[in-house]
């Protein structure tokens, strides 16, 4: 866990090689995509942001290479004529490309933050309990990351009782989920949402 209680260990296969994304304070950052398999065999396809400094430490990765990443889950607001859209990415602080991969891919996140919107609790037609949370996690220099989380079963019941502003500690995995978005012209477009699937959650007094 790093200093701001926002940490993720991610390993899997590189499915798109790094391409230039943006420059901040003279440092170039690149974007790539990593596939991390769940125990069920389903793969989460996750965006990763990595600095040029980290990439220069080793040979550029090829598609299919195994990568091991330690970093944070970050959020950014992308503004356009259609409005504001929350972008989620894994921000790599360290990465390596081991020749021999682990037996199982890793996707382990820990977050300490606060509930920043009313929790949405619901049940499906098959009586499955689900809760959607948005967690604000502080970052340095007065910034925060706003991270969508989803809980199931008894974790959902627990989360459904949380009030806005409640500090929480969450363990889980970052997952990808395809959905259909209806556009202003009534056409539909497939998009991918990213959220932390909660395996455990604790609350603390504010």
51-66 pLDDT, tens digit per residue, is 999 998 888 788 999 9
**Region 131-139 average pLDDT:** 95
The segment(s) of the chain belonging to CATH 2.40.50.140 are 6-108, 109-203
Longest Cα pair distance anywhere in the chain, in angstroms? 53
Name the percent of the chain lying above pLDDT 90: 70
> How do residues 73-99 score in pLDDT, each as one tens digit?
999 987 666 566 789 999 999 999 988
pLDDT 10s digits, 17-42: 999 999 999 999 999 999 999 988 89
The mean predicted confidence, pLDDT, of the chain is 90
- Could you give the CA distance from residue 196 to residue 14 in angstroms, rounded to a whole number? 20
Of 150, 138, 129, 139, whose CA–CA distance to 195 is shortest? 150
Distance CA(195)–CA(87), nearest Å, equals 11
- Which CATH class, in words, describes the domain spanning 109-203? mainly beta
- Indicate the pTM of the whole model: 0.89
The DSSP letter of residue 23 is E
According to CATH, the superfamily of the domain at 6-108 is Nucleic acid-binding proteins (2.40.50.140)
């Amino acid at each position: 866990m790093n200093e701001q209680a926002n940490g993720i260990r991610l390993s899997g296969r590189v499915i798109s090689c790094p391409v230039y994304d943006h420059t901040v304070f003279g440092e170039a950052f690149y974007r790539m995509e990593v596939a991390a398999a769940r125990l069920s065999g389903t793969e989460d396809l996750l965006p990763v942001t990595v600095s040029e400094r980290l990439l220069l430490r080793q040979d550029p990765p090829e598609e299919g290479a195994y990568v091991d990443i330690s970093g944070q889950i970050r959020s950014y607001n992308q503004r356009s004529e259609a409005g504001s859209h929350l972008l989620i990415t894994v921000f790599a602080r360290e990465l390596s490309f081991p020749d021999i991969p682990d037996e199982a891919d890793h996707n382990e996140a820990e977050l300490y933050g606060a509930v920043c919107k009313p929790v949405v609790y619901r049940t499906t037609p098959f009586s499955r309990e689900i809760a959607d949370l948005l967690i604000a996690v502080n970052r340095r220099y007065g910034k925060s990351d706003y991270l969508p989380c989803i809980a199931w079963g008894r974790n959902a019941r627990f989360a459904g009782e949380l009030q806005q502003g409640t500090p929480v500690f969450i363990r889980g995995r970052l997952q990808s989920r395809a959905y259909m978005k209806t556009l202003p012209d009534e056409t539909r477009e497939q998009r991918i949402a990213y959220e932390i699937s909660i395996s455990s959650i604790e609350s603390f007094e504010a």
